[in-house]
Amino acid sequence: MTDAYGYPRQRMVRDLAARGIRDQRVLDAMGLVPRHLFVKEQFLAKAYGNYTLPIGEAQTISQPWVVARMSELLELEPHHRVLEIGTGSGYQTAVLASLTRWVFSLERIHDLGTAAIRRLSGMGYDNVKVQVFDGTVGWGERAPFDRILVGAGAPKAPPPLVEQLAEKGILVLPEGERSGQRLAVYRKGLKRVRREECEEVGFVPLIGRHSWES
């Protein structure tokens, strides 16, 4: 099958490697997921550039570098069960689903959640479950999770998410102000949780019971 976007997608992957992404599995996954199917028609020409683009409801699809970096920081393995907060377009969800066994994803905005469910199932991702509710409370019935990724900015890690992390689990989220954050990585050990800070990022706010008010 010819893929009109194959060339721009490969260029995007080379650019991600040039910007320091090292995890080859992440690069391979992003070389396969058709990002142009997750953006609005008027942004098709920018689908494989390193841009954040509007997806409606005042939300955005994260730029490819951020998706790659967060996926890399998760140190994903094929058997992992992953929880994602903030499905949005479903692009990050699809990248995670290409790399792991199960992805559970929560979106608080009904129309975005249902559009993502339709898009992902239409594309054949059968290892993804998306539901519409406040992800700051986590997904108790499906816990524990080996990995948790939060795709929206929070003042600090919502406590239910740290609780729902499995032993040796990793949680990655943008932490800081509404206007700007840093990627934080939490690692759950036997006795304590270690926290480490990485790059500066700019995400839309995580809104919910254990984060910002709307």
Residues at the contact surface with ligand SAH, assessed by CB under 6 A = 55, 59-62, 85-86, 88-89, 91-92, 106-109, 112, 134-136, 151-152, 204, 206-208
> Looking at beta carbons only, is 71 or 191 nearer to ligand SAH?
71
Please check whether residue 152 is in contact with residue 161, taking contact to mean a CB–CB distance below 8 angstroms: no
> Looking at beta carbons only, is 2 or 209 nearer to ligand SAH?
209
How, if at all, do strands 165-176 and 145-150 pair?
parallel
Residues noted as catalytic: 62
Closest separation between CB of residue 38 and ligand SAH, Å?
A: 7
Bridge partners of 176? 181
Closest separation between CB of residue 132 and ligand SAH, Å?
A: 8
> Residue with CB nearest ligand SAH?
88
- Upstream peptide bond of 34 is cis (omega within 30 degrees of 0): no
